[in-house]
Amino acid sequence: MPMRPAENFFRDFVRVAGPFWFSENKHAIWRWTVILVVLTILQIVMAVLVNKWNAALFDAIEQHSMSGLTRQILVLLAIMLASILITVSHLTVKRRLMIDWRTWLTEKVTDRWMSDGRHYLVSHMPGEHDNPDERIAEDCRIATESAISLGHSLFYSCLSLISFTQILWSLSGVITLDIGVTFDLPGHLVWIAIIYAGLASWLGWLVGIPLTRATNVNQTVEANYRSGLIDARENSQAIALIEAESFEKKRFKKLFTQIQEVWAQQTAAWQYILAFSTGYGLLSMAFPVLLSSPRYISGAITLGALMQSAQAFQEMASALSWPVNNLASIALWRASVERVLGLIKALDAVDDEIARPENHWIVVEKTNQPVLAFRDLTIAKLNGPVLVSGINMEIQQGDHVLITGNTFTGAKLFRAIAQLRPWGTGRIELPVNDRCFFMPPRPHLPANFTLREAICYPKSESCFTPEELTQTLKLVGLEHLVEQLDNVDVWARSLSRNEQQRLGMVRLLLNKPLWIFLQEAFDSLDAESEEKMLRLIDQYLPNATLLSITNLETAPLFHDRTLHFPGE
């Protein structure tokens, strides 16, 4: 994914994540934020006290004063206890803000993604929005947690810079320079620290650019590899039946090769960063002491002032070097934010498509008539060719319609009725008060639910009595599952396709809809069993309207009308 300009990046991030601070819990959010700011200021106070304590300690050592040393030990204990209390409180408040922000952003993105079929529609939109599950679960976490961590460390560095600049300025004194012209230079250590840290930050930023790019690419290839493994796990039976393991292994290897390539890019980038940061770290330790040593040797400052100056120089240089010290964190944060923004952008594109005034989408209207009607309906692919046109038909309540011919187009018609395949023109009219019940080839059985909850999904198990559930299971030939109703499992893996399709029939009979759409919902059953399912619909749902896509040879016996799509 190409990196957008910094100004656009921050603008888009604030637009998406910024409203958290003005959400319905804004009073609590701002209260925790103020507490975090106060605790950060207290952390700086502790750092300044440690700096002054450091000077007093070395002065006492230089003076060979046991009473002074004892006093500084007591002061250190007091500073230590206060620092522990502040640090623990700071961690608690910071993590509270992190989880609250992550919760808000995750719910916002999830609500948009899992709304009115957008999770399906967005998969057909162009752009970088692959693996939305990873973007929601992991990238939303990194985007919010790292934003607070980086924001806090930046604020701390700014406070540290202000505080220790004042200390270092007062300790620097005035030195006289003779460079052809003699003049006095106050606060020379401050100017040296600024030049030193500024040069280091500039060099560090240049060195870190390859890591930022590699980290962004790494997020994508890692997610692609996980997605491939998940896809294989969810389709393990189909893979085993057609003996496609060798193909899957090649696919995994190809995906993992991409990880290896990006890993090599990251390793090369890290080599430069570590070489730079190691040298910079060692120099930062020795440089301020060496810089102030001549003044101590000349007797201009005490040992305590020397150590205080060295520590203040390090603190100031560290504050100025914030970009260098956070290169990897910034790279990871930005890559995750870009991935979240990519998903948001794709969802925005879906909304824009829906809002376009041009008549390029099928219009679905609710009416007060118990009729399903197709008016001059054309079904097309997204920005592609027309699949079928000129569909005009009225289906009355109670009709049984068999869709013949091109079942691929028939499936697209079902999605158009469900407003999941809106590309085309014309109008579909649906009864306003009657819920449509769609049965795909495999019903969705949520993982890690009890079987009872999975069958009742998306309704609550309390909507159906235990007796209803037991009788319906027996009715469709699943009496052996009655004893497993309270077991928890990954049912899509543990049950056969035959059993899953029969559970779809259980759902249908429990919900008693008036409009039923069967899309090869019983294709794994033998002909006799599929006929039994259709008879159950006739017997227990006599007033229901039925539209079927099936390869059952005797299907016309259970339908009174046909809708034919040419192409097969």
Confidence of residue 275 (pLDDT cuts 50, 70, 90): confident
Interatomic CA distance for residues 79 and 77, integer angstroms: 5
Which of these three, 309, 332, 355, is where a domain ends?
A: 355
**Predicted confidence (pLDDT) at residue 236 exceeds the cutoff of 70:** yes
Residues 351 and 367 in one domain: no
* Assigned domain for 1 exists: no
* Assigned domain for 371 exists: yes
Beta carbons within 8 Å of 527's beta carbon, 6+ residues apart: 552, 553, 554
Interatomic CA distance for residues 553 and 146, integer angstroms: 60
* Assigned domain for 266 exists: yes
**Predicted confidence (pLDDT) at residue 154 exceeds the cutoff of 60:** yes
Torsion angle defined by CA atoms of residues 378, 383, 384 and 387, in that order, rounded to the nearest 10 degrees: -20
Interatomic CA distance for residues 270 and 263, integer angstroms: 10
Q: Are 567 and 408 in contact (CB under 8 A)?
A: yes
**Predicted confidence (pLDDT) at residue 33 exceeds the cutoff of 90:** yes
Angle at 495 between CA 491 and CA 498, to 5 degrees: 130
Interatomic CA distance for residues 81 and 92, integer angstroms: 17
324-335 pLDDT, tens digit per residue, is: 778 778 878 888
Residue among 297, 383, 413, 391 at smallest CA distance from 125: 383
Residues 225 and 265 in one domain: yes
* Assigned domain for 393 exists: yes
Mean pLDDT along residues 243-271: 86
pLDDT number for residue 173: 65
Least confident piece of the model among 171-185, 187-201, 304-318:
171-185
Full-model pTM: 0.66
Higher pLDDT, 467 or 408: 467
- Tally the domains of the chain: 2
Least confident piece of the model among 347-351, 398-402, 513-517:
347-351
Residue 183: Cβ within 10 Å count: 8
Interatomic CA distance for residues 25 and 21, integer angstroms: 8
Tokens read off for 169: 């300025």
* Assigned domain for 105 exists: yes
Residues 321 and 376 in one domain: no
Beta carbons within 8 Å of 243's beta carbon, 6+ residues apart: none
Find the CATH number of the domain harbouring 187: 1.20.1560.10
pLDDT number for residue 215: 74
Residue among 457, 498, 447, 450 at smallest CA distance from 477: 498
Confidence of residue 178 (pLDDT cuts 50, 70, 90): low
| Cα of 289 vs its chain's centroid, Å | 46
* Assigned domain for 395 exists: yes
Residues 390 and 342 in one domain: no
Which of these three, 355, 377, 392, is where a domain ends?
A: 355
**Predicted confidence (pLDDT) at residue 389 exceeds the cutoff of 90:** no
Residues 334 and 423 in one domain: no
Percent over 70 (pLDDT), the chain = 91
What integer best gives the mean pLDDT of the chain? 84
**Predicted confidence (pLDDT) at residue 382 exceeds the cutoff of 80:** no
Beta carbons within 8 Å of 292's beta carbon, 6+ residues apart: 189, 301, 306, 309, 310, 313
Interatomic CA distance for residues 52 and 306, integer angstroms: 12
Higher pLDDT, 532 or 358: 532
Mean pLDDT along residues 219-243: 79
Torsion angle defined by CA atoms of residues 91, 94, 95 and 96, in that order, rounded to the nearest 10 degrees: 120
Spell out where 83-222 has E strands. 174-178, 182-186
Least confident piece of the model among 99-103, 142-146, 301-305:
301-305
Spell out where 65-171 has E strands. none
Which of these three, 291, 325, 355, is where a domain ends?
A: 355
**Helix (H), strand (E) at residue 319:** helix 303-320
Residues 347 and 465 in one domain: no
pLDDT number for residue 42: 95
Confidence of residue 513 (pLDDT cuts 50, 70, 90): very high
pLDDT number for residue 266: 83
pLDDT number for residue 185: 64
Q: Which string of DSSP letters, residue by residue, matches 220-252?
A: HHHHHHHHHHHHHHHTHHHHHHTT-HHHHHHHH
Confidence of residue 487 (pLDDT cuts 50, 70, 90): very high
Higher pLDDT, 152 or 279: 152
Return the bridge partners of 403, or none.
Answer: 563
Which residue segment(s) compose the domain that 418 sits in? 363-565
Residues 348 and 393 in one domain: no
Q: Which string of DSSP letters, residue by residue, matches 507-533?
A: HHHHH--SEEEEESTTTTS-HHHHHHH
The bridge status of strand 400-405 relative to strand 424-431 is unpaired
Mean pLDDT along residues 469-492: 93
Residues 422 and 303 in one domain: no
String of b and e for 364-391 (b: at least 16 CB within 10 Å)? eeeeeebebbbeebbbbeeeeeebbeeb
pLDDT number for residue 421: 67
Three-class SS of residue 297?
helix
Task: Find which of 310-324, 353-367, 441-455 is predicted with most confidence, using mean pLDDT.
Answer: 441-455
Residue among 546, 78, 14, 43 at smallest CA distance from 319: 43
Interatomic CA distance for residues 70 and 312, integer angstroms: 24
Find the CATH number of the domain harbouring 426: 3.40.50.300
Look at the alpha carbons of 127, 128, 130, 131 in this order and tell me if their dihedral is positive or negative: negative
Higher pLDDT, 230 or 522: 522
Interatomic CA distance for residues 65 and 144, integer angstroms: 51
Mean pLDDT along residues 438-453: 89
Residues 414 and 279 in one domain: no
**Predicted confidence (pLDDT) at residue 298 exceeds the cutoff of 80:** no
Residues 146 and 206 in one domain: yes
String of b and e for 136-165 (b: at least 16 CB within 10 Å)? bebbbbbbbbbbbebebbeebbebbbebbb
Q: In the 3-class helix/strand/coil scheme, how is 539-561 assigned residue by residue?
A: HHCCCCEEEEECCCCCHHHHCCE
495-510 pLDDT, tens digit per residue, is: 999 999 999 999 999 9
**Predicted confidence (pLDDT) at residue 182 exceeds the cutoff of 70:** no
Least confident piece of the model among 65-74, 83-92, 159-168, 547-556:
159-168
Residues 212 and 347 in one domain: yes
Residues 372 and 324 in one domain: no
Least confident piece of the model among 37-46, 411-420, 514-523:
411-420
